[in-house]
Structure 1
Amino acid sequence: MRKVLFIAFYYNHNNEIASKRLQGVAKYLSAYNWVPIVLVPKIEGINSQKSNIKIVETDYVDMLDKFLPSKSNSQDNSKVSSNSNSSSIMSKLFSKAVSIAGEIFAFPDGMKYWYEPAFNSACQVIEDENIDAIISSSFPITAHVIAHDLKNKYNIPWIADLRDLWNLNPYINHNFIRNHFELNLEKKTFSNVDVLTTTTQKAAETLKTLHPQSKIVPVYSGYDPDEFKHVETIKRDDKLTFMYAGSLYGGKRDPSILFDAVRQLIDEGKVEGSKISINFYGDKDNLVELVNSYNLEDIVNINGKIPYEDVLKREKSSDVLLLISWMNPKEKMFIPGKVYEYLAFKKPVLSLGYKEGSLKDLINETNIGHHTSNLEDTKKVFYSFYKEYIETGKVSYCGNENASKYSMVETARSFASILDEELK
Structure 2
Amino acid sequence: MQKVLILTYYWPPASGPGVQRFLKFCKYLPEFGWKPYVVTVENGTYSSVDETLLKDIPEQVQVIKTRTNEPFGIYNRLTGKEKKSGTVGMLNMDSGQNPIKQMSLYARANYFIPDARKGWNRYAYKAAKAVIEKENINIIITTGPPHSTHLIGKRLKENLGVRWLADFRDPWTNIFYNEALPRTLNTQKKDKTLEDSVLKSADKVTVVSDGLKDEFADRTEPTVIYNGFDVDDLAYQPWEDKNRKFTLSHVGNLMPGQNIEELWQALKELKDEYEEFGAQIKLSFTGNVDDGILASLDKYDLTDMAHIDGYVPHLEATKAMMTADMLLFVIPDTKRNELIITGKLFEYIASRTPILGIGPTDGNAAQILRNAHRNPMVDFSDKADIKKQLLVAFTKWQEADAPFKHDEKDLEKFSRKGLTGQLAHLLDELNAEKVKA
Q: Give the secondary-structure state (helix, strand or coil) at the position aligned to 1:4.
A: strand
CA 1:189 to 1:265, structure 2 compared with 1: closer, same or farther past 3 Å? Answer: closer
Counterpart of 1:6? 6
**Deviations 1:316-346 (CA, angstroms, capped at 9, x unpaired):** 2221111122344521001122222212322
Provide the rounded CA distance (Å) in 1 between the counterparts of 2:236 and 2:303. Answer: 33
Provide the rounded CA distance (Å) in 2 between the counterparts of 1:258 and 1:100. Answer: 32
Decide whether the 8 Å contact of 1:233 with 1:314 is kept in 2. no
Decide whether the 8 Å contact of 2:352 with 2:408 is kept in 1. no
Q: Give the secondary-structure state (helix, strand or coil) at the position aligned to 1:368.
A: coil
141, 164, 168: which is aligned to 1:135?
Answer: 141
Counterpart of 1:82? none
Counterpart of 2:58? 51
**Deviations 1:356-412 (CA, angstroms, capped at 9, x unpaired):** 201111111011334212122223322321232222234533345322221221221
Q: What is the one-letter code of the residue matched to 2:244?
A: D
Q: What is the one-letter code of the residue matched to 1:39?
A: V
Counterpart of 2:363? 357
Counterpart of 1:33? 33
Deviation, structure 1 residue 310? 4.0
Q: Map of 1:148-163 to 2, 5 A cutoff?
A: 148-163=154-169
Give the superposed CA RMSD: 3.2
Is 2:69 the counterpart of 1:62? yes
Task: Select the structure of larger CA radius of gyration.
Answer: 1
**Deviations 1:126-181 (CA, angstroms, capped at 9, x unpaired):** 22222131111012223211111211233332110011121232431421111111
187, 209, 233: which is aligned to 2:196?
Answer: 187
Point out the more displaced range, 278-287 or 27-36: 278-287
The TM-score normalised by the length of structure 1 is 0.83
Counterpart of 1:219? 225
Provide the rounded CA distance (Å) in 2 between the counterparts of 1:413 and 1:2. Answer: 14
Decide whether the 8 Å contact of 2:230 with 2:416 is kept in 1. yes
Provide the rounded CA distance (Å) in 2 between the counterparts of 1:165 and 1:359. Answer: 15
Decide whether the 8 Å contact of 1:224 with 1:407 is kept in 2. yes
Point out the more displaced range, 119-128 or 280-289: 280-289
Counterpart of 2:22? 22
Deviation, structure 1 residue 185? 1.9
Provide the rounded CA distance (Å) in 2 between the counterparts of 1:100 and 1:31. Answer: 46
Deviation, structure 1 residue 198? 1.1
Q: Identify unmatched segments of 5+ residues in structure 1.
A: 76-90
Decide whether the 8 Å contact of 1:265 with 1:271 is kept in 2. no
Decide whether the 8 Å contact of 1:263 with 1:294 is kept in 2. yes
264, 274, 287: which is aligned to 2:279?
Answer: 274
**Deviations 1:287-338 (CA, angstroms, capped at 9, x unpaired):** 455345545455x224251423543333322211111223445210011222
CA 1:296 to 1:119, structure 2 compared with 1: closer, same or farther past 3 Å? Answer: closer
Counterpart of 2:425? 417
Provide the rounded CA distance (Å) in 2 between the counterparts of 1:197 and 1:263. Answer: 42
CA 1:185 to 1:303, structure 2 compared with 1: closer, same or farther past 3 Å? Answer: closer
Counterpart of 2:86? none
CA 1:183 to 1:267, structure 2 compared with 1: closer, same or farther past 3 Å? Answer: closer
Provide the rounded CA distance (Å) in 1 between the counterparts of 2:44 and 2:117. Answer: 15
Provide the rounded CA distance (Å) in 2 between the counterparts of 1:124 and 1:206. Answer: 35
100, 105, 126: which is aligned to 1:120?
Answer: 126
Q: What is the one-letter code of the residue matched to 2:21?
A: R
Is 2:356 the counterpart of 1:346? no
Aligned pairs, how many? 402
Q: Identify unmatched segments of 5+ residues in structure 2.
A: 82-96, 433-437
Q: What is the one-letter code of the residue matched to 1:34?
A: W
Point out the more displaced range, 254-263 or 111-120: 254-263
CA 1:94 to 1:275, structure 2 compared with 1: closer, same or farther past 3 Å? Answer: closer
CA 1:385 to 1:131, structure 2 compared with 1: closer, same or farther past 3 Å? Answer: same
Is 2:411 the counterpart of 1:406? no
Provide the rounded CA distance (Å) in 1 between the counterparts of 2:77 and 2:275. Answer: 58
Counterpart of 1:283? 289
Q: Give the secondary-structure state (helix, strand or coil) at the position aligned to 1:313.
A: helix
Q: What is the one-letter code of the residue matched to 2:11?
A: Y
Decide whether the 8 Å contact of 2:114 with 2:148 is kept in 1. yes
Q: Give the secondary-structure state (helix, strand or coil) at the position aligned to 1:323.
A: strand
Counterpart of 2:389? 381
Identity of aligned residues (%): 22
Provide the rounded CA distance (Å) in 1 between the counterparts of 2:318 and 2:232. Answer: 13
CA 1:44 to 1:415, structure 2 compared with 1: closer, same or farther past 3 Å? Answer: closer
Q: Give the secondary-structure state (helix, strand or coil) at the position aligned to 2:291.
A: coil
Point out the more displaced range, 124-133 or 226-235: 226-235
Provide the rounded CA distance (Å) in 2 between the counterparts of 1:137 and 1:382. Answer: 37
Counterpart of 1:79? none
Q: Map of 1:232-311 to 2, 5 A cutoff?
A: 237-250=243-256, 252-265=257-270, 272-281=277-286, 282-283=288-289, 285-287=291-293, 289-296=295-302, 300-308=305-313, 309-311=315-317
**Deviations 1:255-312 (CA, angstroms, capped at 9, x unpaired):** 43334334444555596433333323442534455345545455x2242514235433
Q: What is the one-letter code of the residue matched to 2:329?
A: L
CA 1:408 to 1:276, structure 2 compared with 1: closer, same or farther past 3 Å? Answer: same
